[in-house]
Structure formats: structure tokens, C-alpha cells
Amino acid sequence: MDAMSPTPRVLPQTWTRDTGLAEKRDVWTAMKRGMLGRCPRCGEGKLFRAFLKVADKCNCCGQDFSGHRADDLPAYLVIVIVGHIIVPLVLSVETNYAPPIALQLAVYLPVTLISSLALIQPVKGAVVGLQWALRMHGFDDTPAEGIPPV
């Protein structure tokens, strides 16, 4: 190697009982990278190929994302987060000011819709990052017995 060539990136490793030496995966780092729409493994490649469609694999490190199973969890989490913000706000405004219902609908519905749309992709990315870090749903090193690869 000459002085100008980049050094190869070495991933931290940990020991597991089932597979021996394996790549170490930090949960918080993987979730943060997923929230930013980046690959939970390298943090450089794109996690999404469309608004909520997860890419088949990372374009930088080659991590396969086809086994992820986020399903409805991101939607449930967004409902909980937005609900815990909007409902106390609605109750506070209603008890203190009692504005007309039409005004409340004109304000609360768009705020709820916009905040839900703003949160759904970061939350889904965090869920995929969590699954990758915990080696869940196709992100493990050894595939399940009897299940053919996708």
C-alpha cells in the first residue's frame, strides 16, 4: 500500500455463541443512522429508495435489507408520538379558549397530517436500524433452517 491509498475500514467485532466472531452492532448508532435515512451498518448508503420503500441493499457496503420486517410498527409509533403531542395541545386550547369547532378542525387536522408524514420515514428507519442491530428478521448471520432465501 502506498501513502495515498485509503486504509480499509475494519468493523468492530464481538463474540457470539452461535456464530463465533461476528460484527458488533450498536443499537443507538444503528437507530440514529436509520432515522437519518442512512444504512444502519455503514451510515453512508441510502436506506430508502422511495418515501417508505426500503432499498434492497446498501449502495455503499452491500448490506442486504430485503429481510426487514417493519410492518405496522412505524405507523403505531407515529400515532403514539403525534397523539401525545396533539391531544394535550387540543385539550389545553379547548379548556382555556374554547374556539369554534371549524377553526379547530382547520388547524388540528393539517398539523396532525403534516407531523405524521414528517415522522413516518424517520421512525421506519429507526425500526429497520433496530432490527439490524438486534439481528432480527433476516439481519442475522445464519439463515433459519428450512426457509429458502428470498
Q: What is the mean pLDDT of each run of 10 residues along the chain (150 residues)?
A: 50 54 84 96 94 94 89 96 97 96 96 98 97 85 54
CA dist., res. 121 & res. 117, Å (int): 8
C-alpha cell at 35: 432515522
pLDDT at 14: 56
Structure confidence at residue 12 (pLDDT): 56
Residues 6 or more apart whose Cβ sits within 8 Å of residue 127:
34, 70, 73, 74, 77
The cell for 61 is 457496503
In this prediction the pTM is: 0.79
Q: Coil, strand, or helix at residue 30?
A: helix
Q: How do beta strands 20-23 and 13-16 pair?
A: antiparallel
